[in-house]
Amino acid sequence: MAFWGTELVAGEPVTHVFGKSRGRLRICKATLGVGLAEGRSVVQCRIGDKKPILLCSLRPYNTESCSVDIEFKEEEKVTFEAIGPTTTSVHLAGFYLNNGTDGESDLKEAKKTEDNEAGVNGSVRTFPSGLIIEDLEKSQRSSTMVASPGSMVSVSYVGKLKCTGYIFESRSSNSPFYFRLGTDAVISGLEIGISGMRVGDKRKITIPPSMAYGPQGRRNVPPDSWIVYNIKLLSISNCSPPLFSDEQGSNVEVD
């Protein structure tokens, strides 16, 4: 998953051409550039020879930035254009989703296999790998958005050693941990354990060494240790986390 960005200036269209090695393009943010502008700037896109579609409308001092969640699966060229004052610009930001060549598709397949083989007993699922996922609390919210590969999520958590209960790391809701699912940003046990959660859900995830830190261990986690995470999902989005997201607390370390 790689970052993508471009700057649009009125009268200067930008064309994006699909590349199989890069994968699909997903745009998630549009922001007015630095400059003097009195009127609004409209961003439109055209796929091939089709009619242009308006993506968003931005106005200085009012709506200078907006979230856009659009994924382009077409292999035709896509042309982006800003309509408005020439004294300012619009910045588009997003990322590429590889077509089954990165951790995203691997995670989907692993999750599908684990689910098919799991023994389900109420709110507890036990997998052949030893992974145990227990639903502690289901959110009462009506949101249907589910954490899945490509989602940017924030979580609060407590990580413990299973054998002693020693807390080796934690994050509170005031200083959550942000990461994107499906990018190998965390250990595989957490990737699978968090997938499928909704905002407000709480889970207890018991992770075997093979899906955690293995024979090498890590700081405060001895080699070949089983670990337990109590997780609460705080948010789901498709864009980048706040710049301050990693300034406090300890992180869930990379696998």
Residue predicted with more confidence, 39 or 107: 39
Using an 8 Å Cβ cutoff, are 162 and 206 in contact? yes
User: What is the rounded CA–CA span in Å between residue 158 and residue 50?
Assistant: 51
User: What is the rounded CA–CA span in Å between residue 177 and residue 157?
Assistant: 9
Q: What pTM, to 2 d.p., does this model score? A: 0.51
* Residue extent(s) of CATH 2.60.120.340 domains in the chain: 2-97
Average pLDDT over the chain, rounded to an integer = 80
- Give the angle 239-252-244 at the CA atoms, nearest 5°: 45
Q: In the structure encoding, which two tokens stand for residue 203, read together?
A: 């889970």
- Residue 144 CA from chain centroid, whole number: 16
Residue 22 has pLDDT above 50, yes or no: yes
Q: What is the pLDDT of residue 98?
A: 60
Q: What is the pLDDT of residue 111?
A: 54
- Give the angle 35-40-46 at the CA atoms, nearest 5°: 105
Q: How many CB atoms lie within 10 A of CB 196?
A: 16
pLDDT in tens, 202-244: 999 999 998 999 888 888 899 889 999 999 999 998 655 554 4
User: What is the rounded CA–CA span in Å between residue 106 and residue 77?
Assistant: 28
Using an 8 Å Cβ cutoff, are 134 and 204 in contact? yes
Interstrand relation of 24-32 and 177-180 (parallel, antiparallel or unpaired): unpaired
Topology (CATH level 3) of domain 107-237: Chitinase A; domain 3 (3.10.50)
Using an 8 Å Cβ cutoff, are 152 and 145 in contact? no
Beta-carbon contacts of 113 under 8 Å, excluding residues fewer than 6 positions away, are none
* Residue extent(s) of CATH 3.10.50.40 domains in the chain: 107-237
User: What is the rounded CA–CA span in Å between residue 10 and residue 135?
Assistant: 51
Query: Please, what's the b/e burial string for 147-166 (b: 16 or more CB within 10 A of its CB; e: otherwise)?
Result: bbbbbbbbbbbbbbbeeeee
* pLDDT average, residue stretch 157-164: 93
pLDDT in tens, 73-127: 767 789 999 998 877 889 998 877 765 443 344 455 445 544 554 444 448 888 8
CATH number of this structure's domain 2-97? 2.60.120.340
Q: Pick from 66, 4, 62: which is nearest to 31 by CA?
A: 66
The total number of residues shown for the chain amounts to 255
